[in-house]
Structure 1
């Protein structure tokens, strides 16, 4: 799917493209989603060197994620995406030229839909391709801050569930999802910081003071958000340890009950085993009240053991 965003005065018009269409004039942004073989052939007219491949999006080396060639600046950026309770990371490849921004992605991204919504409401003030790219990164940082705020709310809810035995399994699952999502958020922040520093170095000659100031502000925002992700990690680990500790405590209570029951019934078992022996000379076996006496002895020994445990505070 290929979508062109053309500059119309101070606003951007959205125009889907077919393979038979040529690139519209005043195209400021060309967004390419899940291109097939024919669409990749169509893309060759846009690139002097190699056309980006889908399997290149997940490269993690800095030399593969941020570089410059004849086609312009190439920036691989990781975007967090909420999917239900989970947060996943989606890579987007941007090619920045003086007059046009090209984005290349293999998954739909909610942030792009939000950007199109802003375009329809004329809420974007992009004068050129670098401005548009910085607008995208600005929205990305705002979206990440919203995800961090949601993380705090989730941990407030799980903190109340940690001591509830019935919901402990679900609480552990929520905490593990939150830990994985927070990892994607932190990774996206580090990736965005690297991308912005690369853009700042690249725009040192061609960019203007306003763009460089804008980048500095976003870098400051990222530095202020990173401690929050570390705090969330600490809070998640604390709640996980508390949940595991509470589980161990509940298991200890069950084991304690079995241990006390075994000790309480140990004296009666001893008495019963003594009188269950088959020796010929056992005077008690001839008593008329030997059987009731043994029952009373077993009952008294069990009650005495229970009273001793109770008085010591072990029950």
Structure 2
């Protein structure tokens, strides 16, 4: 799918384009899971070579950050899918081609939808709804002035990355809140003396595992963004950006560093909760094993008495004694009760 963003009459419009109708005056071309024909059409319209899906997955900085002619290619991993319970991340390529931005992605991060809505101030429109001001622009200088104020590719890319970082921060806040709730559930389970192996403990372990998985993905995403920003600053320097642009890039760098620290804190908290949960499960298991161990020790003396009187010896005086059977039963009961009383006295039970 090709989504193009054009500026006219002081507004930015989004429309779907076909390989035969890729406009050359678009300020942002968004390639979403494009076909080979769509990629070739954009390459022909923009005069550049779009990286393949395999090239986007390369981890070397030279494969993710490079320049070809007047175009700068930057690839970062973007986290998505937390709302669906299946967080993941995928590479997204940003191509600055003069005043135009081209994005190539095979997933649908919510940050792109949020920024596109903010950029257009309305939902994307169908092809042909953007007004044609070619004649009016020539006749009216005021309208030409408005049209010339179209957002540049640099500002669109900065706005996109800012939205990505804000979205990632929101997701980390959601994970932090879930970890707080997990901690409450763990200690509530210990107070209620819930047995090990219950659905509650299994759910807690699954939630902790999901949080840990998200932390690793968020850390990798932040690492790619941290590598991208210096290259973006060098690319912007060639275009002589304003002070506001440089300040925004520096602010994003500070946000990434603070988020990295926050992710490290959440990782430590996740490990603590995991250790606590495993410790609670171990305590429950030890309590169950202790009960069986005490029961085994309690039945050992009666078993010894029964074994003695179960021997097939010819001369055993108690066998002919009328009170031999009650005496043997009483001795077995007494030998079982005394260890239990002793264990209770030692507070082992």
- TM-score bracket for this pair, using the shorter chain length: over 0.9
* Counterpart-to-counterpart distance in 2, 1:96 and 1:153: 37
SS of structure 2 residue aligned to 1:265? helix
Select which of 299, 313, 318 maps to 1:284: 318
In the other structure, the counterpart of 2:98 is: 98
* Counterpart-to-counterpart distance in 2, 1:100 and 1:180: 36
In the other structure, the counterpart of 2:126 is: none
TM-score normalized with structure 1 length? 0.94
CA deviation after TM superposition for structure 1 residue 162, in Å: 2.2
Deviations 1:219-276 (A, max 9, x none): 1111121111001000000010111111111110111000000111111111000000
Check if 1:179 corresponds to 2:178.
Answer: no
Check if 1:198 corresponds to 2:231.
Answer: yes
Select which of 211, 216, 222 maps to 1:189: 222
**How do residues 76-225 of structure 1 correspond to structure 2 at under 5 angstroms?**
76-83=75-82, 84-121=84-121, 127-163=151-187, 164=189, 165=194, 166=198, 167-206=200-239, 207-225=241-259
SS of structure 2 residue aligned to 1:46? helix
CA deviation after TM superposition for structure 1 residue 145, in Å: 0.9
Runs (5+) with no aligned partner, structure 1? none
In the other structure, the counterpart of 1:61 is: 60
Deviates more, 1:43-52 or 1:86-95: 43-52
SS of structure 1 residue aligned to 2:6? strand
Deviates more, 1:243-252 or 1:46-55: 46-55
Number of residue pairs matched by the alignment: 313
* Counterpart-to-counterpart distance in 2, 1:255 and 1:92: 53
Closer, same or farther in 2 for the Cα pair 1:8/1:62, shift >3 Å? same
CA deviation after TM superposition for structure 1 residue 86, in Å: 2.9
SS of structure 1 residue aligned to 2:92? strand
* Counterpart-to-counterpart distance in 1, 2:78 and 2:121: 23
SS of structure 2 residue aligned to 1:52? coil
Whose relative contact order is higher, 1 or 2, with alpha carbons under 8 Å and at least 6 apart? 2
Runs (5+) with no aligned partner, structure 2? 123-148
TM-score normalized with structure 2 length? 0.85
Give the root-mean-square deviation of aligned CA atoms: 1.8
